[in-house]
């Protein structure tokens, strides 16, 4: 195993750049933590490298990860605690950082097989929320997630951390134009439903068994009116009077599991 002791090594610089944000030149996935790296290996991701810093409290995890990575032919790098601290995007590094190659998904991968159930995050700018949406979608059997408009990058390290491995399994794509995304989904015979706060049918009486895409608005202002108007229809999550809205990731989970309930009833 090669050894890195300098904080000025090119691998350190690459991790720091990815921590600031992915670019057109480097779309790598920056992974931090034993669970996330292990999930990536289990999902069959291709790794550019895995950097490890020996810690007594993670001997078992390190040994198991070493064995799995070597079996896959992954480049393993031994680094000092100071180098790992420079590579890690978190304040308290766990002992492992890696860079993996992202999945290359298309919209076609999100809408099948079976009746499509797609969550479309519109202008959801918090990467933690976006990651939580991907995680909820995966848990509830959705076919995919679209990060549309000004949404955060689902491949950023914060979003990947929030998704807890679901981003490695569940197809997801980015789409810059929300209305064009709605038109594309509708052209594929998918019903596009805008999630609004009130004056709309309940999610419990809305048929979510058919091919459906659910639009979720930004944290602050929800869906713009022109996006709601472009959708096939609307729906709302019933709430107690006085409660105006839910966190977008919570709303996504409620809707996704209602779809799961409907699709598995009986």
pLDDT at residue 114, as a whole number: 82
204-248 tens-digit pLDDT: 999 999 999 999 999 788 999 999 999 999 999 999 988 888 999
Confidence of residue 161 (pLDDT cuts 50, 70, 90): very high
| Average pLDDT score over residue span 165-191 | 97
Write the DSSP symbol of residue 242: T
pLDDT at residue 87, as a whole number: 97
pLDDT at residue 56, as a whole number: 63
| Average pLDDT score over residue span 58-62 | 83
Which residues lie closer than 8 Å to 121 by C-beta, 6 or more apart? 130, 133, 145, 146, 147, 148, 151, 216, 248, 252
Confidence of residue 102 (pLDDT cuts 50, 70, 90): very high
Q: Which of 222, 212, 161 is nearest to 188 (CA)?
A: 212
253-262 tens-digit pLDDT: 999 999 999 9
Element (H, E) at 215: strand 212-216
Q: Which domains does the chain have, with CATH numbers?
A: 2-100 (3.30.1330.30), 107-264 (3.40.1280.10)
| Average pLDDT score over residue span 138-166 | 97
Q: What distance in Å separates the CA atoms of residue 254 and residue 245, rounded to the nearest whole number?
A: 12
Confidence of residue 54 (pLDDT cuts 50, 70, 90): confident
Global confidence as pTM: 0.95
């Amino acid at each position: 195993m090669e050894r890195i002791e300098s904080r000025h090594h090119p691998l350190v610089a690459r991790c720091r750049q990815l921590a600031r944000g992915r670019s057109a030149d480097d779309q790598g996935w920056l992974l931090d933590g034993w669970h996330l790296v292990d999930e990536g290996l289990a999902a069959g991701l291709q790794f550019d490298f895995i950097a490890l810093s020996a810690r007594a409290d993670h001997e078992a995890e390190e040994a198991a990860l070493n064995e799995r990575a070597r079996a896959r032919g992954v480049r393993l790098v031994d680094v000092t605690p100071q180098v790992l601290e420079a590579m890690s995007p978190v304040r308290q590094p766990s002992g492992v950082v890696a860079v993996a190659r992202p999945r290359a998904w298309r919209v076609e991968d999100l809408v099948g097989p079976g009746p499509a159930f797609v969550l479309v995050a519109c202008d959801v700018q918090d990467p933690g929320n976006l990651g939580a949406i991907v995680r909820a979608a995966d848990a509830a059997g959705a076919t995919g997630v679209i990060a549309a408009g000004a949404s955060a990058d689902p491949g950023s390290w914060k979003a990947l951390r929030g998704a807890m491995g679901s981003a490695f399994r569940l197809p997801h794509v980015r789409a810059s134009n929300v209305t064009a995304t709605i038109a594309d989904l509708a052209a594929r015979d998918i019903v596009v439903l805008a999630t609004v706060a009130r004056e709309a049918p309940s999610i419990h009486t809305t048929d979510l068994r058919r091919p459906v895409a659910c639009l979720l608005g930004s944290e602050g202002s929800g869906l713009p009116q022109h996006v709601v108007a472009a959708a096939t229809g609307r729906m709302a999550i019933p709430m107690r009077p006085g409660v105006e809205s839910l966190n977008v990731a919570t709303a996504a989970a409620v809707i996704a599991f209602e779809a799961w309930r409907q699709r598995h009833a009986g």
